[in-house]
Every structure is written in structure tokens, then in C-alpha cells.
A and B are shown apart, each in its own frame.
Chain A
Amino acid sequence: GAGVSQSPSNKVTEKGKDVELRCDPISGHTALYWYRQRLGQGLEFLIYFQGNSAPDKSGLPSDRFSAERTGESVSTLTIQRTQQEDSAVYLCASSLVRMAGGDTQYFGPGTRLTVL
């Protein structure tokens, strides 16, 4: 089936505005991840959803960041009162099963956020 999709692909916003980024995981994947990728940097873990378990929000950089997931489907990452340092590519990934020792995470193409 289709891979992980994200929308929008690009988002330009003004400082102080709120933004919502959407992720559609691969159908049947119970685990969903959000990462932030700053220019020239590695992937920074933000949040993890697994089934109906409480999400791991330990990577969210501030209380301006929040995320939701409806069941095992769509997830939305919301950034309130955006700041210029929030400019980055936001990547979503999903995986089928969380196995000990690591599972294969399938990434979407990302949303490039630019805060002016």
C-alpha cells in the first residue's frame, strides 16, 4: 500500500502563529513517531505513539509543542506561537511492530516549516 504521507509538504508562517502538521501512517502500523530535522543536523526524537498506550512525549522541546493521534491512524503535530528556531523539517515515521532490538521505521517525506 501507500507509504507514510505528510501534509503540507511546505509551510511558511509568521512568528507567533500556530501551525498544524499532519501525518498519515502506513495502514496497520501501530507505532508512530515524530522527529525534527534541523538543517545539517541529525534527527531529533519528539514523540512516540504506540497503540492505545500513553504517548512518550519526552522529546517535545517545549510546551508549545503537542501532538495527537486518533487510534492507530492520523497524527497531528501542533506548534503554538511559532518561533524562528522552530524552522526545520518535521518527519513522521511509522512501524508495524515494536520488537526488542529495534524495528523498521518507515519515514514520510517530511514537512518543511519556515518561520519568518
Chain B
Amino acid sequence: QQQVKQSPQSLIVQKGGISIINCAYENTAFDYFPWYQQFPGKGPALLIAIRPDVSEKKEGRFTISFNKSAKQFSLHIMDSQPGDSATYFCAATTGTYKYIFGTGTRLKVLA
């Protein structure tokens, strides 16, 4: 119940394409869903986050789509660039400090 399932494990996208990463959860008490971006040798950095009272949040080329009834949320990267190549983690929390992280998606954007 505490798991967050993330897919795909890896993703290869052409430059300019759309990258889509999906996460699913079971615990309906989760109320904050951040996405983190991690470059090799670096710690994860917050990219964008959403709360369940909205269905979509957009920041630049990054969009979170949230489907509360399906208990799923996804990250869309529009016009993907080689500089977006990184590992992406979704996470969820019940309003406490304990984040439950997905297993990560390694994205490679081909030039």
C-alpha cells in the first residue's frame, strides 16, 4: 500500500519528442506528489510537484498530469532535449516528511 510504482524503467526519446513517465499508487492518503530529476553524480533535485486538488500542473516544458480516480500521475516533458537526459523519480507523501519514492526512470534524449 505504501509503494509507488514507476514505469518505464528506461526511456529513449528523440530530440524534440515527448517523454512520458508514469507512476501509480495505492494509498489514497497521499496528498503531495513531487517529481525529482537526478543527473549522474548529483543528488536528486525537485523538478515539479502537484497536489490532488488539481488535474494538471505545467512549468515550462514539464507537465504533471494527475488522475485521482485512477490513482496515477505522470510527467510529460515536451520538446525533449539532450540536456534532459537524467533519471527521474516520482514520489508521494501523506503530508509528513516521509516520501515514498518510485524506482526511477532513466531518460536518454538523442541529439
Binding site for B on A (CB under 8 A): 4, 31, 33, 40-45, 48, 50, 56, 91, 93, 95, 98, 100-110
A39–B45 Cα distance when bound, in Å, is 18
Q: Check A50–B42 contact: CB distance below 8 A.
A: no
Q: Check A42–B97 contact: CB distance below 8 A.
A: no
Q: Which of B12-20, B63-71, B99-107 interfaces with chain A?
A: B99-107
In which size bucket is the chain B interface? 20 to 34
Given contacts A91-B44, A109-B41, whether A42 and B95 have CB atoms under 8 Å apart is no
Q: Does B89 contact A (CB under 8 A)?
A: yes
Q: Check B104–A31 contact: CB distance below 8 A.
A: no
Binding site for A on B (CB under 8 A): 4, 6, 9, 31-32, 34, 36, 41-46, 49, 51, 89, 91, 93, 95, 97-99, 101-104
Query: What is the chain B residue whose CB lies nearest that of A112?
Result: B41
Interface centre among B6, B34, B43, B46 (most CB of A within 10 A): B43
